[in-house]
Amino acid sequence: MTARFELTTRVPARIGEVFDASLDVDVHLGSMRRSGERVVGGVRSGRMGLGDTVTWRARHFGVPWRMTSVISAHDRPRRFVDEQVRGPFRRWWHEHVFEVDPRDPTHTTMRDVVEFAAPAGPLGRLVTAAGLRRYLKRLIIARNAYIVEVLAGVRSE
């Protein structure tokens, strides 16, 4: 069973800046410091592009894991998709959509659409129901808050 959630974040920065920050490996690493995430393969720093891969190593729920993802769609500054090619999920697909805020062209509306399926059949469905979706949603919320801080100059990368 595939689970899905969507988030919308308003960012006080222009669309191109938000798009670029969202594809920046260093920004991602900064946003995931709590899980000790680091790069162990692929693009190690800077902005990723179409076809680029990165392998992350992190600790979640006290368990170390690796995930290799690829940028499978890229339409700057409107949209990109990252998907797992190897890792802990049966499926991981994350679409990032960016739109100029119609109320203020110096702001961007960033929408995340995440579809995932945990491994292990019925056990995976139980884990998803028990809190995996909520946990992943919180990770994306934290990531987006970090991007807002970086683009507002509160944090430096």
Query: What are the pLDDT digits (tens) for 41-60?
Result: 999 999 999 999 999 999 98
pLDDT at 155: 59
Residue 90 placed within a domain:
yes
What does the mean pLDDT of the chain come to?
92
Provide the domain count of the chain: 1
Tokens found for residue 34 = 């709590």
Is residue 103 assigned to a domain?
yes
Range of the domain at 36: 3-151
| Burial of 147 (C-beta count, 10 Å sphere; 0-12/13-18/19+) | buried
Q: Is the pLDDT of residue 4 over 80?
A: yes
Does residue 157 belong to any structural domain of this protein?
A: no
CA-CA distance, 145 to 149, in Å (whole number)? Answer: 6
On whether residue 57 sits in a domain, the answer given is: yes
- Residue 140 confidence (pLDDT): 97
Average pLDDT over residues 80-108: 96
The candidate with the shortest Cα–Cα distance to 76, out of 102, 95, 98, is 98
Task: Say whether pLDDT at 157 is over 80.
Answer: no
Q: What is the C-alpha radius of gyration for the chain, rounded to an integer number of angstroms?
A: 15
| CATH value at residue 126 | 3.30.530.20
Any domain includes 156 = no
- Are 34 and 145 in contact, with CB atoms under 8 Å apart? no
Cβ atoms 112, 99 nearer than 8 A: no
Give me the pLDDT at residue 45, please. Answer: 97
